[in-house]
Structure 1
Amino acid sequence: MFLNKISLFIAFNLFVTIAIAQENTAKTPEFLQYTQSTWVDSIMESLTPQERIGQLIWVAAYSNRGPEHRTEILNTIKKWNVGGLVFFQGDPLSQVTLMNEYQNAAKVPLMGAIDAEWGLGMRLDSTISFPFQMALGAIQNDELIYEMGKEMAHQIKKVGLHLNFAPVADVNNNPDNPVISYRSFGEDKYNVTKKSIAYMQGMQDEGLLTTAKHFPGHGDTSTDSHFDLPQINHSLERLNDLELYPFKELINAGINGIMVAHLNIPALDPSGKPSTLSKAIITDLLKGQLGFKGLVISDAMDMKGVTKGNAPGVVDKEAVLAGNDVLEVVPDVAKAVAEIKMAIDQGILSQKTVDARVRKILAAKQWAKLNEYKPQPLTNLLQDINNPQALLLERKLTEASLTVLKNEGNIIPLKSLDTLKIMSISIGADSKTKFQKTLDLYTKITHFTLPMEASLKEIEAIKKELPQYNLVIIGVHDDTPRPRNTIKFSEAVQTFIQTLPFEKTLISYFKNPYSIDKLENLENAKGLIAAYQDGNSAQDLAAQLIFGGVGANGKLPIGIGKKFKAGDGLTIKGGIRFKYTLPEDAGMDSKTLFKGVDSLMNQVIHANGIPGGQLLVAKNGKVVLHKAYGRQKYNDTTKVTLEDIYDLASVTKISSALPAVMKLYDEGKFDLNKGIADYLDYFKNSNKADANFKEILAHQAQFNPYITYWKNTLRKNGSYKWSTIKKDSSARFPIKITSNMWLHRNYRKKVFKAIKKSPLLEKKEYKYSGLLFMLLPTIIEEITQENFVEYVDQNFYDKLGAGRLTYNPDKKFDKKHIVPTEHDFIFRHLPVHGTVHDEGAAIMGGVSANAGLFSNANDLAKLMQMYLNMGTYGGEEFIKESTLKEFTKTQFPENNNHRGLGFDKPYLKYIGENSNTAKDASSESFGHTGFTGIMVWMDPKEELLYLFLSNRVLPTRANTTLYKLNTRTNIQQLLYNAIK
């Protein structure tokens, strides 16, 4: 009697407290309009009392278990007429196949439910996992959360299901919470509420039933209800103000369902009962005082938080008596049905109450269109689930969640790459991480990994390396796909982390941010990024953030001890360097792009036009295709990788001397109206003294196309002249062509002489010529008084982070990463591998502006993107915009010359397959091609960058299949098609 009075007193006070707080009227869930529908009436009439009880019971199902489990589920459906199935682990195809079979066996269409808080990937393989709710809590644009809800609904419905047990609406204000933590939107009730509503509305707007959980609030627990019954000892005022707040707002917003947790909350029910078995909490509070009319679903009835001390069947009956409409994951259906039936027979539970709940369940099924049930098709299932927009959305959410907690000296994004010597350490990893691989895309970095249980020897080896570098990038990784608030690093590793040279350290933290508080001194790092989880997208995008490929505006959704408070987070502007992303992010269609490009590349490879190649496509500064194809050589097993470097041939012209010329032009040190003789006295009395650079660079200065300089090294019998080439190096023969060919130190004079004495063509019209580019390195050295290679390295390649853009690559790289070119049996008498293919450039010691540069697509693209940006990249101006506009415009169209200054341009009139570009390339576009099978092209109108690297001259330059198939320009046209 005394306890009853206390209960009434508490209930009255609770009612007053909550009623005063409720300013809005609870919104009736949409599905309730069907409770008296013709279809629901017909189903009710067809069901026996026992079958109606069955509708209240939903059981666990798996799509990765054997035939015995399938048989068990089929028998349960047929015998007990259960209302629904809750699916757990498996795969999408098996999931749909089984659900179709189960529906076929059911008297009443089954409700298919899944616990997919962060997407189907939480339960089914080969599907997408969106970021955990804690990461989503950092996002400032709730529209993204809404879009996630819509996409999630689309995917869940595709696998034949109708209800998602989400969102988690718990306010996680206990850092030691073992079960909610990363599953919550955070510790701020308003943020949790806004995001829960956005998530819910997205799903419901796409026709998916939703369930907010875990009522009345599981956020401030230190016990996992899967294993025991947590107790929450807060006052009514505190519960009403904090824990209940998101649920009240979700009810007002019209959520379909509420899941009740297994919690002991004395202030709401002093009996000690789990909330799932509490009439005071479910019937009086949730349904009565809060006015919730939707589906009330219990948390799983096999969890120890409710089963402990409660007998099977009896516990299910108690849950129904407490007010639950649905019992989730009932382990013993027979006992549950028997106990509930007995309660009806004894008058403890009325048939009217059961019928009302069944009608509610059936109404929800009708809202989910189960009254029009059709088997779910398997066709294109995986493609539909893993659609490009969903994949992009996952990356957008991850990017938007990135939270910069420290940015001392604006270290993020990194600038002045030429001043940095960088090492990276992935802590908690045994091999090179995705984080490190993405860092590699931006500049040269030396990588180390440190396992969780690293030995002192391993740690000491890394510590010895630290002084050699002026920047240390740390990735702190997790050992579990779910970011628990734990630190499992060995004591030695923890000590290493806590004693890092923080004054030169930038940390990306891929663990639960709560655990930052368990490692001393991390807050002293020069830069600190909270990435929330250790997935590929988080690692990839955190690395891009460090270099300015993406920005950040995430705000910490929780406090981290005394180090950081909820709401902390700095805004970082991105877009200063490449963003590596998906085509849809740049307004391109991935299906058109990938399928078309792959088809054309496979065509030319199978036709032996090229053994392989690399492609890079960027739009709006976003790299949307970056792929290696085929092999380095025919009949070889060495596949092309993205790190491999190719001989750029004539693309060297616009990649070495031309940027130097433009920079010197900016500085007033190079005059386009002057000519070669103004910078090289040797040419003052030549027939080329009067030609100005504007005409020469536009290829209409009457220069001959090319001179076969190497032939002057030979006697008539084919042997080398004694004064040109020797087998061994010496002071007189220091220029290496091959290991058995060393050129005389003065042979360059013969090249200059040949150029000087070469006759001019009759007409001043467009005729492509490489003669000037043999001279430009010397001209640039005369102007700058610096070594040419050092000049372009220091002023361009080093600053761009383009370490693989280089001359004489065999001096820097292992040959396995240098793609071979022609088998030269005329001049060098061996296959060319590691040195320049062009004989003229080879005679110049591998350093010419005519040819000689090597690169992979990624590093060459940085230079080309700088051009496309009209002179800027990485937050730095390399060349003035006005200069690039001058050099990239058609100079002499009146003379039927389509060229710019150094740059190639589209023909003045498109002539079909014989044109040098795709039909849709704009007149503003510019680029160049290379004899070895290279093409680079930039289109400012579409902000489109295209690089095609190949070694079509292997084994012979006579192979013109690449040209005949028109592969390069056909691929270029595909890019425009993908934009359209």
Structure 2
Amino acid sequence: MKIKPAVVVILAAVFFNLQLNAQDTTLVQPEFLQYQNSKWVDSVMEALTPKERIAQLIMVAAYSNRGEKHKKEILELIKEQKIGGLIFFQGDPKSQVELMNDYQQAAEVPLLGAIDAEWGLGMRLDNTLSFPYQMALGAIRDDSLIYKMGQEVARQVKRTGLHMNFAPVVDVNNNPNNPVINYRSFGEDKNNVAEKGIAYMKGMQEAGILTTAKHFPGHGDTDTDSHLALPQINHPFERLDSLEMYPFKKLIEAGIGGVMVAHLNIPALDSTGVPSTLSKAIITGILKERLGFKGLIVTDAMNMKGVTKGNEAGVVDKMAVLAGNDLLEFTEDVPKAIAEVRKAISQGVISQAEIDKRCRKILAVKQWVGLNNYKPVPARNILKQLNTPEAITLQRKLVEASLTVLKNESSLLPLKKLDTLKIASVSIGAEKRTKFQKSLGLYTDVKHFQLKADAKASEINEIKEALKKYNLTILGIHDDSKYPRNTMKFSEAVQDFISELSVENNTVISFFKNPYALNKIKNIEQAPALIETYQDSEITEDLAAQLIFGGIDANGRLSVSVGKKFKAGEGLDVKGGIRFKYSTPEDAGMDSKILYGQVDSLMNQAINAKAIPGGQIFVARDGKVVLYKAYGLHRYSDTVKVERTDLYDLASVTKISSALPALMKLYDEGKFSLEAGIDDYLPDFKNSNKADIPFRQILTHQARFKPWIPYWKNTLRKNGSYKWNTFKKDSSARFPVKVADDMWLHRNYKKKIFKAIKKSPLEEEAKYKYSGLAFYLLPSIVEEITGKDFRKYIYENFYDKLGATTLTYRPSEKFPDERIVPTESDFLFRHRPIQGNVHDEGAIMMGGISANAGLFANANDLAKLMQMYLNRGVYGGERFIEASTLNEFSRTQFPENGNHRAIGFDKPYLEYKGEDSNTAKDVSKDSFGHTGFTGIYAWVDPQENLLYLFLSNRVLPTRENTRLYKLNTRTKIQQVLYDAIVE
């Protein structure tokens, strides 16, 4: 027997009512319901006509980027039709606030303002933050982060003068081809969707914003976009009830304020074929009666083809009201909609009392969000107040927590033993160096390639050939779409290239696309290391690079299944924290307003005073880089800006960056003793006045050594010309030491320097007096102990392993001059401006290789060495120096003698001397570091786990420029760091 459609509806209703008694009746009711019969609501109801009460159910679309004509149209609807609310779409925050204030002023009853801010205001408004899409949030294991996101989104929505967010999406996306939900869903696991939805909802609602779970009864399993047509879902009731509707039930139980109904044709719930938005069986029968929802029921946009096709504007709105909706979103014909509802009342299809009940519900919402005490919202400083450092930090934390490692064979990630790796990166789908590649380059030397999405075979073959030189390839697979679609625009040849590299045992892949797209690339699941980031943005690219090198952890879990390759819930934990995390001050317990504002001010002051032409500042706390910035110019007279990658002459910071780490390592190995003297390692010093003076005294500068010797003056005749056996204009076997392009020093002059040191007299009293003499000898001592070339030894044992590729002697051999910041214009010795060679005369006469001076670096690479010290000898997952050794070398050795110095390291003065001190007043006594003559400052403080670097070329154009010292710029900036610490 054929059952008529009407009978099916009746039978379904009976079944739903039978099931009603089985429902959990311990629902948390929406908070706004308490105001339905409040004095304010009563007073407003009394003032509204029956027609105006209908108008309160209507919310129209408003834009802040459509000019005066659109504004006039909205004002007419407010004044003439008395509509209840506005939903804002495209525009900018300032214009939106100003418009909303104008609209509220024109309204007799305050307007309810809403927005679609599923991933934050960035979904609709320019210059605002976008948090990760919900598919990425679904990968996060810590729901408290999503709760915090809800609070922050609510704060921003309120700041723009609005009261309601049409979020969260709690559709279970179990159809990879879903064109409209997809990345907007928390994923395919109903429990995960529900948990994430509740966390997001509670965060928003507890911050005073009404939320709506959407799109009821579940829009996840469709391959049709309801904006364009009416999707049909053919699952039986049991499946819909246990899966699609599950998250909605849970959010209703948890007290969500609103539910948005989708435009869907679901025969198992309503066999008449009407869209669910217009279905009384679904809205009243299921949502209200069976699920017991008493909150605000909102339609999906009433301009979408899924509901408008075959239905007249205005008439369709009346149908939505009759089905049980409380609020009509995006009504296209307001007068017609009101007229149609009034007609339905007059025909007895719906009662005025029912309309009044829904009107009261909307007014109750308005009171709950504070509209009973409405005040205009200020537009001033809105962008600054929206895009706060705290919000940006939360945005980064959410992305970080979502990163999902799907493959990590042999614990390849994070990368270790950088000295064994020759790394290339290929950004696929990019035409210029990507943020991903720039961030990779922060950790070590990486050769970068780009490959267009439609690259030709010849271009691919060229990269294949180039990659043969490298033993590790990092692939970044990028997305050129604003939204992470489940499509693949790469040519077949490019996809084949990815497939080929995936089966190599030296490939790391970071997939900056929708996870469903993984299923479109053959063999990608075979990659030794595979990271899913869910979307492509500067933040995901930056953090994926940090994950690869161990700057951050990874513990995300895949939110959807990817064909037969991966299942939802898969993911591997990767422990990071072994190298720098490049983050925000707030992530490290510091105030970015204090830090950035005051450091910038002090640097600009120094530059304007011509104390320095420019510089680099690097600050890290708890291993998190909170400030890494370049300022000013290379020279006062040019326009070449300082870049973060530029190299500076480190001057005396070389003392703690070259031979000192080597000596500490040799001390660990029992090959170097602090109680031994120079003569124990350099026999020529046996009969000198420096024999038997222990290195403990030498390296703390109380060995009675003279401060310095002007070696270069000994090369001159009385008339100012060079002695015949010192310099020649061309190199030769006898004159192999380059001092300048046309200055080559005699091969034996190093012996003369050593002889001068050996014969130099001693000071009378053994007290602190800074001396650089012994540091000329230390490279030879290291070579004597190890039997290895000094440079090779420190590169192999320290710099290469640290990934500190710019920390180097003789930088001109590796880097172009335009990357090396110039120092002094030397008109005494070399008679030329100095760039690319060490400034110190003695060091350049040692061939540029000394422990007194000679090292160059950018701030980022010097910081790796300093962080290793701060970590008590560990960095990158490797131990370089024993902690006990660093403790010994970094402590003050002879305080009883008035000497504040440690072994090799400088320390704070024993008593703070105000502006005459070598550190800021809040620096701890445990801190240590060094300064450099060229304007360098390198310091670490174990008590605050704080690292600070100041790189400059204050000696340009002359060393007589002492303004940097007079301004105390370096220590003033150091104090700012302590002032900025908030926890």
Do these two structures clear the TM 0.5 threshold for a shared fold by scoring above it? Answer: yes
1:267-666 matched pairs, under 5 angstroms: 267-500=268-501, 501-666=503-668
The alignment-based identity, stated in percent, is 68
For 1:720, the equivalent position in structure 2 comes to 722
Work out the CA distance in 1 between the residues paired with 2:296 and 2:277: 14
For 1:29, the equivalent position in structure 2 comes to 30
Judge conservation of contact 2:19–2:290 (CA < 8 Å) in 1.
Answer: no
Judge conservation of contact 2:16–2:285 (CA < 8 Å) in 1.
Answer: no
Where 1:214 maps in the other structure, the secondary structure is: strand
Work out the CA distance in 2 between the residues paired with 1:476 and 1:83: 47
Shift in CA distance, 523/24, structure 1 to aligned 2, threshold 3 Å: farther
Work out the CA distance in 1 between the residues paired with 2:41 and 2:632: 60
For 1:857, the equivalent position in structure 2 comes to 859
Question: Is it true that 1:812 corresponds to 2:814 in the alignment?
Answer: yes
2:889 to 884, 887, 907: 887
1:708-857 matched pairs, under 5 angstroms: 708-857=710-859
Work out the CA distance in 2 between the residues paired with 1:394 and 1:880: 38
Letter in 2 for 1:667: E
Where 2:447 maps in the other structure, the secondary structure is: strand
Work out the CA distance in 1 between the residues paired with 2:279 and 2:494: 48
Where 2:629 maps in the other structure, the secondary structure is: strand
Work out the CA distance in 1 between the residues paired with 2:760 and 2:38: 95
1:31-46 matched pairs, under 5 angstroms: 31-46=32-47
Tell me how far 1:340 sits from its aligned partner.
Answer: 1.5
Does 455-464 or 807-816 show the bigger shift? Answer: 455-464
Tell me how far 1:27 sits from its aligned partner.
Answer: 2.4
For 1:249, the equivalent position in structure 2 comes to 250
For 2:934, the equivalent position in structure 1 comes to 932
Work out the CA distance in 1 between the residues paired with 2:934 and 2:65: 52
1:68-107 matched pairs, under 5 angstroms: 68-107=69-108
Alpha-carbon displacement from aligned partner over 1:663-682 (angstroms, at most 9, x marks no partner): 01111111111111111111
Work out the CA distance in 2 between the residues paired with 1:224 and 1:815: 57
For 1:944, the equivalent position in structure 2 comes to 946
Tell me how far 1:389 sits from its aligned partner.
Answer: 1.1
List runs of 5+ in structure 2 lacking aligned partners. Answer: none
Work out the CA distance in 1 between the residues paired with 2:743 and 2:832: 11
For 1:146, the equivalent position in structure 2 comes to 147
Judge conservation of contact 1:428–1:479 (CA < 8 Å) in 2.
Answer: yes
Alpha-carbon displacement from aligned partner over 1:58-103 (angstroms, at most 9, x marks no partner): 1111111111111111111111111110001111111100000010
Tell me how far 1:19 sits from its aligned partner.
Answer: 4.8
For 1:896, the equivalent position in structure 2 comes to 898
Letter in 1 for 2:729: K
Tell me how far 1:18 sits from its aligned partner.
Answer: 6.0
Work out the CA distance in 1 between the residues paired with 2:455 and 2:789: 46
Tell me how far 1:465 sits from its aligned partner.
Answer: 1.1
Where 2:105 maps in the other structure, the secondary structure is: helix
Work out the CA distance in 2 between the residues paired with 1:182 and 1:529: 17
Tell me how far 1:17 sits from its aligned partner.
Answer: 4.5
Judge conservation of contact 2:510–2:533 (CA < 8 Å) in 1.
Answer: yes
Where 2:301 maps in the other structure, the secondary structure is: coil
Tell me how far 1:481 sits from its aligned partner.
Answer: 2.0
Question: Is it true that 1:680 corresponds to 2:682 in the alignment?
Answer: yes
Work out the CA distance in 1 between the residues paired with 2:790 and 2:313: 84
List runs of 5+ in structure 1 lacking aligned partners. Answer: none
Alpha-carbon displacement from aligned partner over 1:512-543 (angstroms, at most 9, x marks no partner): 00110111111110100111110111111110
Work out the CA distance in 2 between the residues paired with 1:302 and 1:243: 24
The aligned length equals: 979
Judge conservation of contact 1:427–1:450 (CA < 8 Å) in 2.
Answer: yes
CA RMSD of superposed structures (Å): 0.9
Where 2:468 maps in the other structure, the secondary structure is: helix
Work out the CA distance in 2 between the residues paired with 1:37 and 1:945: 58
Tell me how far 1:24 sits from its aligned partner.
Answer: 4.1
Alpha-carbon displacement from aligned partner over 1:741-789 (angstroms, at most 9, x marks no partner): 0000111011001101100001000000000110101111111111101
Structure-1-length-normalised TM-score: 0.99
Work out the CA distance in 2 between the residues paired with 1:16 and 1:840: 95
Work out the CA distance in 2 between the residues paired with 1:335 and 1:814: 73
Work out the CA distance in 2 between the residues paired with 1:758 and 1:68: 88
Letter in 2 for 1:467: K
Alpha-carbon displacement from aligned partner over 1:190-247 (angstroms, at most 9, x marks no partner): 0000110010000000000000000000011110100010000011110110011111
Work out the CA distance in 1 between the residues paired with 2:442 and 2:883: 26
Work out the CA distance in 2 between the residues paired with 1:376 and 1:705: 66
Judge conservation of contact 2:20–2:289 (CA < 8 Å) in 1.
Answer: no
Work out the CA distance in 2 between the residues paired with 1:482 and 1:560: 18
1:907 to 906, 909, 915: 909
For 2:227, the equivalent position in structure 1 comes to 226
For 2:698, the equivalent position in structure 1 comes to 696
Does 798-807 or 462-471 show the bigger shift? Answer: 462-471
Tell me how far 1:355 sits from its aligned partner.
Answer: 0.8
Does 587-596 or 257-266 show the bigger shift? Answer: 587-596
Work out the CA distance in 2 between the residues paired with 1:302 and 1:19: 37
Judge conservation of contact 1:551–1:574 (CA < 8 Å) in 2.
Answer: yes
Judge conservation of contact 1:17–1:240 (CA < 8 Å) in 2.
Answer: no
Alpha-carbon displacement from aligned partner over 1:887-946 (angstroms, at most 9, x marks no partner): 000000110000000000000010111010011111100000000000000100110000
Judge conservation of contact 2:418–2:801 (CA < 8 Å) in 1.
Answer: yes
Shift in CA distance, 19/420, structure 1 to aligned 2, threshold 3 Å: farther
Work out the CA distance in 1 between the residues paired with 2:306 and 2:21: 30
Alpha-carbon displacement from aligned partner over 1:226-283 (angstroms, at most 9, x marks no partner): 0010000011110110011111111111100000000000000000000000000001
Letter in 1 for 2:440: L
Judge conservation of contact 1:258–1:297 (CA < 8 Å) in 2.
Answer: yes
Question: Is it true that 1:8 corresponds to 2:27 in the alignment?
Answer: no
Work out the CA distance in 2 between the residues paired with 1:965 and 1:141: 47
Work out the CA distance in 2 between the residues paired with 1:740 and 1:427: 47
Work out the CA distance in 2 between the residues paired with 1:448 and 1:777: 38
Alpha-carbon displacement from aligned partner over 1:626-670 (angstroms, at most 9, x marks no partner): 000111110211110000000000000000000000001111111
For 2:966, the equivalent position in structure 1 comes to 964
Judge conservation of contact 1:17–1:237 (CA < 8 Å) in 2.
Answer: no
Work out the CA distance in 2 between the residues paired with 1:410 and 1:307: 55
Question: Is it true that 1:920 corresponds to 2:922 in the alignment?
Answer: yes
- 4+ residue segments displaced more than 6 Å: none
Letter in 2 for 1:493: V
Work out the CA distance in 2 between the residues paired with 1:259 and 1:353: 19
Does 535-544 or 375-384 show the bigger shift? Answer: 375-384
Judge conservation of contact 1:481–1:535 (CA < 8 Å) in 2.
Answer: no
Work out the CA distance in 1 between the residues paired with 2:956 and 2:590: 33
Structure-2-length-normalised TM-score: 0.99
Where 1:210 maps in the other structure, the secondary structure is: strand
Judge conservation of contact 2:36–2:363 (CA < 8 Å) in 1.
Answer: yes
Letter in 1 for 2:887: K
Letter in 1 for 2:663: V
Alpha-carbon displacement from aligned partner over 1:288-337 (angstroms, at most 9, x marks no partner): 11111111000000000001111111111111110111110011212212
Does 952-961 or 555-564 show the bigger shift? Answer: 555-564
Alpha-carbon displacement from aligned partner over 1:375-420 (angstroms, at most 9, x marks no partner): 0012321121111111111111110111110000100000000000
Work out the CA distance in 2 between the residues paired with 1:17 and 1:830: 92
